[in-house]
Structure 1
């Protein structure tokens, strides 16, 4: 892992915990992040996982990010230099993509 530095951050984001896991069968760095009164999960995933879904791939190519939500959960997918970030939280709790800064490693 890259330490506790978030790959993507926004004002008032605070890392609470980090760990490694698997997403799509590939290793991923995971971060629990406090944002206001919410806890969000941030997963740093490999290229082959991030770009595997054609809907995500096309949205990222067209507008630089992918976002989906249902009544309870919201997901924002942002590309990194290598791989990408999946930011997951309660619907309506994620920062806007325009307010997120990408850390350069």
Structure 2
């Protein structure tokens, strides 16, 4: 199994990362908007090279990914079908989003 981008959660209104002492970071968006979040012990670059999970070295820090959207990986099968239309992100469109970071 090859390591790859993972752990993305969609339709997020807010999320918090905190340490054992309860202090941390909160990310939120405007009412009615949504984000996609991930929190991993690896950067995207860390996941890009290794061919197997046992080749990864977890970082001490948590890497927070805050995204507006990600395009779907594939369609209805595992043999290379394109993503379904509703999951495509077209290059000829403008996408905007915003979020707030707050200490907790």
TM-score normalised to the size of structure 2? 0.29
RCO higher in 1 or 2 (8 Å CA, sep ≥ 6)? 2
Higher helix share: 1
Identify the structure with the greater strand proportion.
Answer: 1
Rg larger in 1 or in 2? Answer: 2
